[in-house]
Amino acid sequence: MSNMMAVLINGIAQLEYDRDKALTDYQLTYLDEMDKKMDAGINIDGESIESPELNQRIQFITANMLSAIKSDNEGMTSALCTYLATRLPDLKQIKVVEEGEDMTIDMVFDEEYKGQTSVSFTQH
C-alpha cells in the first residue's frame, strides 16, 4: 500500500506527496498555526465562516492550493498540500478537471496513486 498522495489537474500530476517522509518540528508548528488562523474564520466563495469545520477547512485549503499552483508559489503549494495530506491521512488523490472557467474537484480516498510514466518520442 502506497503512502503517496497526488494532486492532478486535467490528468497531469502537479504534486506528489510522500507521507513516509517525516515532517520537521517547524513544519508541524506551521500546520498548527494554519489551523489557529482558520479558527478565527475563513472566507469561501464570498461567504464568511466564523468557526469552520474540517470539510470547510479542506475546501478552503484546496482552493488556495490550486491558486498557489497556478501562480507557481512552490512554498505555499507545498505547505497547503502537506496540510491536506496530514489532516486527511486516507486521501489518495485530488483530481481537478478544468473546462474553461468551470472546475470540478474530486477527493479520492479509494484509488491508490500509481505515478505517471514519462514517454519520450524520437523523431525520424
- Global pTM reads 0.86
Per-residue confidence (pLDDT) for residue 101, from 0 to 100: 85
Torsion of CA 28, 89, 115, 93, to 10 degrees: -110
Greater confidence, 2 or 32? 32
pLDDT for 115? 76
Is there a contact between 65 and 73 (Cβ–Cβ < 8 Å)? no
